[in-house]
Amino acid sequence: MSPRRNRQRGGGKPTDHSGGGRYGLEQTEEWRGEDWVVRQIGGGGAAKHYRCPGCDQEIPPGVPHVVTWPQGGDVDDRRHWHKACWNARDRRSARLQRSRNAPRY
């Protein structure tokens, strides 16, 4: 009995014509009158801790999320969001939440 083949016959690696690349698919969305590049990151591509600007919570390694930056921006403009936070970005604000015991002034 011969061993099981894990690769397709026919040689080389499959070609990816989707424009994805290593980290995921990119698309452009408009937000606040500006075009933003949005890239989906899978759990395997998430290797560091990030802070989500939508909920101000940490995104641990291995958690799928999205990376966004203004079109025409550079590396320093990238922000890592939870998928749900990015989808609800118009309902979320960037203000900090105060604790229950904090004064209101």
Structure confidence by residue, pLDDT tens digits, 57-91: 999 999 999 999 999 888 889 999 999 999 998 87
pLDDT of residue 12: 47
Confidence of residue 95 (pLDDT cuts 50, 70, 90): low
Q: 20: helix, coil or strand?
A: coil
The residue that leads in pLDDT, 43 or 103, is 43
| Residue reference for tokens 């939870």 | 82
Q: 87: helix, coil or strand?
A: helix
pTM of the model: 0.64
Dmax (CA) for the chain in angstroms is 78
Q: 56: helix, coil or strand?
A: coil
